[in-house]
Chains A and B, each alone.
Chain A
Amino acid sequence: MGSLLEVENLCVDYITENGYVRAVDSVSFVIEEGKSLGLAGESGCGKSTIAYSLMRLHRPPALITNGKIKMDGKDILSLSEKELQKFRWKKISMVFQSAMNCLNPVVTLEKQFFELYKTHGITKNKKESRKMAEELLKIVGIPPERLKDYPHQLSGGMRQRAVIAMALALKPRLLILDEPTTALDTVVQRDILQKIYELKEQFNFSILFITHDISLMMEFCDTVAIMYAGKLVEQAPSMKILKNPHHPYAYGLKNSFPSLQGEIKYMEGIPGIPLDLNCIPKGCRFQDRCFKVTKICFEEEPGRSSRDGGFFYCHNPLELVKEI
């Protein structure tokens, strides 16, 4: 299988009163065809900023200042406005956190589907569009007669499913899920995620899954990348990162979720507060909160080291973590 999307040294800056703030700093990753990549990290670490730059949704004050994004060998960053319109949704589509904000509240679902098909030149016939939309709603588990409803008449879970149906309407190659289920209950959340992964098998698209719920991600993604303060700190296959995280931050994140099985242990979480991107320290960005910090961490930025099926950036990696 080849790689579908390649991101190389991506940098995104926000222009503020105090100069540039680099929200994403030389991030590189690859998503392979039919695979899913999870992007984890706390709020403000740049997860969503990456997703937005893949779709070229950034508007000033956000600027993509460096890097390459290639999909199927084509450079996304050099697309013109017109090409972009065709590219978005057809190649990459996105499901946002709040479904109510993506659906137009004064237009029925049927019409929203029709507009989608019309703009992308699939069909201009209302009956035909209706048929296709019904088909899609059936796939995500909404009764087709709800097509006549307005968004507010649907429940939270249904709205999110309707948005997923819309995201799949043009059979995209990559689906970006930006915290798709954070606002939903656990039962509905699992229901929807299982549905998405069934569909992934069926249509063979790739997934970029963004969330801060790392336990959910471990369960659903093939590969997991962990971000801290705008940088990727570790990437590896999910089972390997779960069993044997190398970066102390990855270890801390994993240990922030109490388990449902086994004994209740005292858990520490991660001490301190997230890094302020306005004042980035010299050396490693995680220095203030790290429990394995040594002198070199304050002086030098750690380089890239490889591990089984991935890589990490740390001077003092955890070699093997007991008690799993």
Chain B
Amino acid sequence: MEAQEIKKPIFSVKNVTMDFKVARKGFLAKKSTIRALNDISFDLYPGEALAIVGESGCGKSTICRIAMRFYEPTSGKMFFNNENIHELKGEKLKQYRQKSQMIFQDPFSSLNPLYNIYYHLKRPLELYHPSDKETMYKKMDEYLTMVGLTPPKEQGEKFPHQLSGGQKQRAYIARVLAVGADVIFADEPTSMLDVSIRLGVLNLLNKLKRDLKKSFIYITHDIATARYFADRIIVLYAGHMVEWGDVDKVICNPKHPYTKLLIAAAPDPEREGKIDLPVIRDEDTEIRQWTPDSKGCPFRTRCPEAKEICARECPEPREVEAGQFIRCIHG
């Protein structure tokens, strides 16, 4: 941890809250507000992978979308190299767009089916790193080799439909490299891929992180791959950061009841016999909707240890162990 304190964060999020207006049933009914993210703060350092895990609808992808400037946060700020990304203009904005890129879940729809792989790599190179044709092709071949699409001459000429899912994802990663991104937002990059292919792509991301010092925000619901790939982890529940810190500490020794539940539910063939999930059964086991008026701990309705105080106020973050934080009065 000490070594990290000297380093400067490349991307940081400060107290971001995001509200969405949703229409209610009926034509004349008032619109209601849903709080998708509540008080999110974290730092990302160069050459580090930060995993964000949680169930669907907990706001994982919303963080990405705010960082990509699809939305402006209701309150709070996001910084890239100490500059507020939502106030960038002109040349600076172009630079930010270059340095931050996303990898999407579905490689089948993120490549243009009408053009070959070389075209996908050529466009960002022309835009950001213009040079003569020969160096450009040399560069493209380099990127393709780096992501494991060999021989590059042959693979570059192929069209997306001629590649398998894993290869498409690799081609897309090559494009992200060609742009020259430093911070990569990977939104479930492996969940659409076959199990046998998945690990290869994760190993590729790992290599980029280690050798090229790229930073990753790795969004997933698979806690096992998060442990395999990431250095730090944030567990999100109903738009709240409930537990975060060192990936090994959080997964091997979870303190928050929700993290415990997530880990107990993950399939593990080495475990014997049936396990009891540490959770109170709700009417439906789906996530609760959070509104700006909601009070208390978001997990209290399903928490087996909930007390009366949990309904009144949302617990402040505290450090339970060096490099491991929770937002819970227990643990």
A residues neighboring B (CB under 8 Å): 42-43, 141, 143, 155-158, 185-191, 194, 212-216, 218-219, 238, 242, 252-253, 256-261, 264, 266-271, 273-274
B227 with A264: CB separation less than 8 A:
yes
B82 CB to nearest chain A CB (Å): 33
User: Is B132 positioned at the interface, with any CB of A under 8 Å from its CB?
Assistant: no
The 4 A-B residue pairs whose C-beta atoms are closest, nearest first, are A269-B199, A218-B269, A258-B228, A270-B196
A256 with B199: CB separation less than 8 A:
yes
Candidates A143, A187, A242; contact of B269 at CB < 8 Å: A242
User: Is B308 positioned at the interface, with any CB of A under 8 Å from its CB?
Assistant: no
B55 with A269: CB separation less than 8 A:
no
Beyond the given pairs A257-B195, A258-B224, A269-B200, 9 more chain A to chain B contacts, judged by CB atoms under 8 angstroms and listed by A's residue number, are A42-B194, A155-B286, A187-B261, A212-B195, A238-B269, A256-B196, A261-B268, A268-B199, A269-B196
B195 with A273: CB separation less than 8 A:
no
Map CB proximity to A onto B255-269 as digits: 1 under 8 Å, 0 otherwise: 000000111111111
Q: Choose among A156, A186, A214 the residue with the greatest number of B CB atoms under 10 Å from its CB.
A: A186
Distance of A173 Cα from B149 Cα, bound (Å): 48
A208 CB to nearest chain B CB (Å): 18
B221 with A185: CB separation less than 8 A:
yes
Q: Which residues of B contact A219 (CB under 8 A)?
A: 267-269, 271
A142 CB to nearest chain B CB (Å): 8
State which of B16-24, B276-284, B321-329 sits at the interface with chain A: B276-284
A273 with B266: CB separation less than 8 A:
no
User: Is B197 positioned at the interface, with any CB of A under 8 Å from its CB?
Assistant: yes
Candidates A157, A186, A214; contact of B262 at CB < 8 Å: A186
In the complex, which residue of chain A has the Cβ closest to the Cβ of B148? A271
In the complex, which residue of chain B has the Cβ closest to the Cβ of A191? B285
Query: 7 A–B contact pairs at CB < 8 A?
Result: A157-B285, A212-B194, A242-B269, A253-B195, A256-B199, A258-B228, A264-B227
A260 with B266: CB separation less than 8 A:
yes
The size bracket of the interface on B is 35 or more
In the complex, which residue of chain A has the Cβ closest to the Cβ of B302? A187
Interface residues of B in 265-304 (CB under 8 A from A): 265-271, 274, 277, 279, 281, 283-286
B196 with A259: CB separation less than 8 A:
no
Q: Which residues of A contact B283 (CB under 8 A)?
A: 143
A269 with B197: CB separation less than 8 A:
yes
B284 with A260: CB separation less than 8 A:
no
Distance of A107 Cα from B149 Cα, bound (Å): 49
Distance of A295 Cα from B267 Cα, bound (Å): 38
Q: Which residues of B contact A191 (CB under 8 A)?
A: 265, 277, 285
A274 with B194: CB separation less than 8 A:
yes
Distance of A264 Cα from B265 Cα, bound (Å): 20
Distance of A264 Cα from B262 Cα, bound (Å): 19
Q: Which residues of B contact A253 (CB under 8 A)?
A: 195-196
B270 CB to nearest chain A CB (Å): 7
B196 with A252: CB separation less than 8 A:
yes
Distance of A290 Cα from B222 Cα, bound (Å): 27
Distance of A215 Cα from B269 Cα, bound (Å): 5
Candidates B248, B251, B279; contact of A187 at CB < 8 Å: B279
User: Is B98 positioned at the interface, with any CB of A under 8 Å from its CB?
Assistant: no
